[in-house]
Amino acid sequence: MKRNLLWLVFALSTAVQGASLDGVTYPPELKPEPQEAQAAHLAAELLARYHYKAMRLDNALSEKIFDQYLKSLDSEKIFFVQADIDQLSNNRTKLGDAILKEDLTAPFAIFNLFEQRAAERFAFARTLLKKGFDFQQNESYQFAREKEAWPKTDAEARELWRKRVKSDWLRLKLAGKDDKSIVEILDKRYDNFLKRIARVKSADAFQTYMNAYTMAIDPHTNYMAPRAAEEFDISMRLSLVGIGAVLSELDEYTTIRELVPGGPASLSGQLKPGDRILGVAQGEGGVMIDVMGWRLDDTVALIRGPADSVVVLDVLPADASPDGKHKLVSLVRKRISLEQQAAKASVHSIVDGKVIGRVGVITLASFYEDFAARQRGVQDYRSATRDVARLLDGLKREKVDSVLIDLRNNGGGSLAEAVELTGLFIDQGPVVQERNASGQISVESDTQAGVAWDGPLGVLINRGSASAAEIFAAAIQDYGRGLIIGEPSFGKGTVQSVIDLDRVAKNSKPQFGELKLTVAQFFRINGGTTQLRGVTPDILFPSVSDTESFGESSFDNALPWTQIKAANYSPAGDLKGLLPVLLALHDARVKKDKDFQYLQEDIAESRLRREKNLISLNEAERRKERAAEETRLTFRETRTDVGKGAGNDVVGKGGTALRDDGLQPGERKLAIELAAEKARKDARDILLDEAVNILGDEVAVMKTGGGLTARIQRGPVLPLE
């Protein structure tokens, strides 16, 4: 998927002051660390030797790196001007030499200029707030500029930013904010951006440059700095050592957003959401380090530590004023299991006066596996397949008629887990084929006899279902083992291997990071590949995603679609005869489902807005548009059976949708954001409900030859154990 690396501006946060020129406070100049140049050279050697599409680091690749680097830094072309690009183009063929000669001066010079331009743009944005705007003029703002040229002059860039700020102002004005509040909100927003720019570190610049290099070769080869590598490892093993608190940055405070049940923070009874962490000390009597204004990841690194060690927090309670009384909270770090990211199950009853069908739904967000624990021979290591197997046992006890595996937005994970998870539903046989750089083809198979579930099965996918999720869905489809429902998947048909650069270099401590490089392409057992085309569902749902900007086909250097000889396998079933009946029942049902129709309307409206790519800056015109939207939403909410539709932005009590308030994440009160998250979670999942109905139809057709026309009732979420 496309990565807009403006996270460097919008998401990073350790304050330092730079020089102030012409009223602009510039961030300090970043310089590469010696170990970064060494890591880059080592990564280049590995890429040239082991990558599936090995490319020499020559002038041609250097030019691709240069283009990818600029795209990473300024994808919307709002920071640089054409003169900058002309100046920087002197380095177009030198970025490869920067790696081979272990001299990162050139890429860091590009990054430093980017930071200077970003500081100038946001500083200029703040000056506009003093003047205000005339919203009676007929002008518009182009919100997506990726395909546009860079501004020719600084004056042209300032005009772009004038419209950008005017759009921000008008959005808040339409939400009911007065001018004074708008100035305060936007001034603080732009000032926060400037502070975050100043907190960017050498490691951030290096990681951005290295990913420009790796992604110039292929979209899924990435470099991870040591801290990013640790976060990746945590996401795969679903555990970490800490205090059991979800933290966020709010008004320069590290704020507790959520407490993990059973974690040290929750069990202490001394902390609650909204509490702000001002300082962190290691052990009782340790030196308290002030973390006010720190980057969130730096604060988190201080709070984490060895299991059973003590961390002391200086806390400003949620209900205290900024100069209120602090309290010290001492906690013993423990291993925290990230259950929210683990597989979950629920039972949905299909009712028509009485329960006439039960469908078990297993939601799997990733194909996680604790690699290290498995390698050490730990018997009860954490894995997606083990968790799903336990959930299937629970669903069988619940006597469900069918099982739906929800893989929407599952970006993949462990290839071994994809194979083993498939094995829960087929009785031995090939699952996926791999072709390496030498053209050798190997087959990954399920070797375990028996199945965990032999009943009706469905798999729900969308554009965000990728890699391992596509392997699983494709295998289930090729075996005829279950129905694939949803929208076409991402289209990632490549296999990556993670190399610990520190282990290769035999470093005693982490300093080089990790390299995730493409080593093979995978193919379905029918011989085709999911590359570019993804998995096409048996029953298609409306496409919510923008396929032009999201998915394998959005990359200009993606591998082409191809095919090889089919593997030797025997289908487990054939659902083709059922499809015409199920499609007819599906079509008839969704035509009567107002929520489904509203969702289709919203998708069409969103597509039109993307294609138009212009937003009016005339207040009267925008109020007219807003009134029409209010009328449309109000009409929906007055229906007795709506108010919990996924088509709404956020659904609150009584079915009232929270309209656009013009605010960005982190600008609302925490309680409001948490309530909105809960509302989204509780909202009716229209597509999931329809997938459940389709499986209900399948069961009914197989049993009686008839279909179900009924409603869905959600059951409780089942625990893993």
**113-157: per-residue pLDDT in tens?**
999 999 999 999 999 999 999 999 999 999 999 999 999 999 999
Same structural domain, 213 and 346: no
CB neighbourhood size of 557 (10 A): 12
Residue 358 belongs to domain with CATH number? 3.90.226.10
Residue 679 lies in a domain: no
Distance separating alpha carbons of residues 689 and 404, to the nearest angstrom: 11
Q: Is residue 644 scored above 60 in pLDDT?
A: no
Lowest model confidence (mean pLDDT) among 88-102, 308-322, 645-659, 674-688: 645-659
467 is known as an active-site residue: yes
pLDDT band, residue 355 (cuts 50/70/90): low
Same structural domain, 479 and 361: yes
pLDDT of residue 9: 34
**Catalytic residue among 84, 478, 595, 697, which?**
478
Segments of 135-228 assigned E as strands: 140-141, 222-224
pLDDT of residue 651: 34
Distance separating alpha carbons of residues 289 and 129, to the nearest angstrom: 36
Residue 649 lies in a domain: no
pLDDT band, residue 720 (cuts 50/70/90): very low
Same structural domain, 119 and 147: yes
- The total domain count for the chain is 3
Same structural domain, 93 and 166: yes
Q: Is residue 573 scored above 50 in pLDDT?
A: yes
pLDDT band, residue 362 (cuts 50/70/90): very high
Distance separating alpha carbons of residues 659 and 86, to the nearest angstrom: 44
64 is known as an active-site residue: no
Same structural domain, 295 and 425: no
Angle at CA of residue 188, ends 182 and 189, nearest 5°? 85
Q: Is residue 6 scored above 80 in pLDDT?
A: no
396 is known as an active-site residue: no
Q: Is residue 17 scored above 80 in pLDDT?
A: no
Average pLDDT over residues 95-113: 96
Same structural domain, 315 and 369: no
Residue 148 lies in a domain: yes
Residue 289 belongs to domain with CATH number? 2.30.42.10
Same structural domain, 434 and 289: no
Pairing of strands 514-523, 429-436: antiparallel
**Catalytic residue among 467, 538, 685, 697, which?**
467
Lowest model confidence (mean pLDDT) among 8-12, 165-169, 380-384: 8-12
* Closest to 528 in 3D by CA, of 576, 471, 489: 471
Q: Is residue 13 scored above 70 in pLDDT?
A: no
pLDDT of residue 384: 97
Mean pLDDT of the chain: 90
pLDDT band, residue 717 (cuts 50/70/90): low
Q: Is residue 525 scored above 70 in pLDDT?
A: yes
Residues 45 and 230 sit within 8 Å (Cβ to Cβ)? no
pLDDT of residue 706: 54
Phi first, then psi: give them for residue 429, nearest 5 degrees: 140, 170
Q: Which residue has the higher pLDDT, 707 or 170?
A: 170
Lowest model confidence (mean pLDDT) among 22-26, 165-169, 433-437: 22-26
Distance separating alpha carbons of residues 454 and 477, to the nearest angstrom: 15
pLDDT of residue 702: 85
For residue 450, give both structure tokens.
């028996």
Same structural domain, 327 and 367: no
For residue 70, give both structure tokens.
């600029």
Domain termination residue (choose one: 307, 337, 367): 337
pLDDT in tens, 453-491: 999 999 999 999 999 999 999 999 999 999 999 999 999
Per-residue buried b or exposed e for 650-680, using 16+ beta carbons within 10 Å of the residue's own CB = bbbeebebebebbbeeebeebeebebbeebe
Residue 330 lies in a domain: yes
Helix (H) or strand (E) holding 385: helix 384-397
Phi first, then psi: give them for residue 172, nearest 5 degrees: -70, -35
**Catalytic residue among 166, 177, 344, 492, which?**
492
Distance separating alpha carbons of residues 696 and 693, to the nearest angstrom: 5
Q: Which residue has the higher pLDDT, 368 or 656?
A: 368
Same structural domain, 333 and 309: yes
Burial of 565 (0-12, 13-18, 19+ CB in 10 A): exposed
Q: Which residue has the higher pLDDT, 123 or 547?
A: 123
- DSSP state, residue 639: S
Average pLDDT over residues 411-434: 97
Distance separating alpha carbons of residues 406 and 548, to the nearest angstrom: 24
Length of the chain: 721
Question: DSSP secondary structure string, 444-511?
Answer: EEE---S-S--S-EEEEE-TT--THHHHHHHHHHHTT-SEEEES------EEEEEEEHHHHHT-SSS-
The domain of 170 spans 7-217
Same structural domain, 550 and 569: yes
Same structural domain, 111 and 205: yes
* Closest to 404 in 3D by CA, of 430, 425, 432: 425
